[in-house]
Amino acid sequence: MEWLAPYYTWIKALHVMAVIAWMAGLFYLPRLFVYHAEKAVVGSELDRTFRVMELKLLRVIMNPAMITAWVCGLLLIAMGGLDFGAVWGWAKIVAVIAMTAAHIWMAARRREFAAGQNSRSGRSYRIANEVPTLLMVVAVIAVIVKPF
């Protein structure tokens, strides 16, 4: 990985930009689900509009951002950018894996909406909307503050 050393700051910058885009999607998609669940009748014009918005957000922004964040993050780890001898490094990894699980859960919910089979309330999506925020707080504090 030594050949990548001159590009470390560029990889890190790309990683941060990808994480910002990914987090924006993780914050916005469940909010779309709230309105979709509460306001749109299956098969209506509003339902079709939400389906398009959710699909494009997931496929055009969230998926590429998540993949880029993971690839750049793994490159940074390979270049020595994470201390696995400290708890903070593991806390960051666990938070990122949990964010990925949240992403996968949201993708499954999007497929349910697309099939006209949503069974969850707007309230459940409001609660789901808080999960990425909590995970982001854990990841940022772990990396920046390194309290443990």
pLDDT at residue 90, rounded to an integer: 94
Is the pLDDT at 84 greater than 90? The verdict is no
pLDDT of residue 82: 82
Whether residue 1 is predicted with pLDDT greater than 90 in this model: the reply is no
Domain ranges for the chain:
2-145
Helices (H), ranges, 57-141: 63-78, 87-114, 122-140
At 92, which amino acid appears?
A: K
pLDDT of residue 148: 85
| pLDDT at residue 7 tops 90 | yes
Q: 99 vs 4, 45, 65, CA distance in Å?
A: 27, 31, 12
pTM of the model: 0.93
Q: CB neighbours (10 Å) of residue 20?
A: 12
What are the structure tokens assigned to 22, written together? 């990914």
Per cent of the chain over pLDDT 70 is 100
Considering the chain, what is the average pLDDT of its residues?
96
Q: How far is residue 148's CA from residue 26's CA, in Å, rounded to a whole number?
A: 27
For CA atoms 70, 76, 77, 82, the dihedral sign is: negative
pLDDT in tens, 15-50: 999 999 999 999 999 999 999 999 999 999 999 999
Identify the weakest region by mean pLDDT among 46-60, 79-93, 95-109: 79-93
Query: d(Cα 141, Cα 23) in Å, to the nearest integer?
Result: 16
